[in-house]
């Protein structure tokens, strides 16, 4: 597939977009892991969302 004389620009554009998309996906995935871990920690320590105080 011939991308012409400006192939570098086309590749650069697609690579950069891929990098941004991958970064977004990583952000979402890693943030999910972090929040679940924090919630698990808090739960293990007995902090609950119910109105009664933790025992």
Which residue ranges make up the site for other proteins (CB under 8 A)? 1-7, 9-10, 12-14, 16-17, 20-21, 23-25, 27-29, 31-32, 35-36, 38-39, 42, 45, 47-49, 53-54
Work out how close the CB of 45 gets to other proteins at its nearest, in angstroms, rounded to a whole number: 8
The CA distance from 10 to 40, in Å, is: 45
Name the minimum Å distance from CB 44 to other proteins. 12
Nearest distance from C-beta of residue 51 to other proteins, angstroms: 10
User: How many angstroms separate the CA atoms of 2 and 24, rounded?
Assistant: 30
The dihedrals phi and psi of 12, each to the nearest 5 degrees, come to -60, -45
Distance between CA atoms of 33 and 27, rounded to whole angstroms? 10
């Amino acid at each position: 597939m011939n991308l012409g004389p400006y192939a570098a620009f086309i590749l650069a554009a697609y690579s950069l977009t891929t990098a941004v998309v991958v970064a977004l996906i990583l952000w979402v995935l890693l943030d999910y892991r972090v929040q679940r871990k924090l919630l698990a920690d808090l739960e293990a320590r007995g902090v609950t969302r119910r109105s009664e105080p933790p025992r």
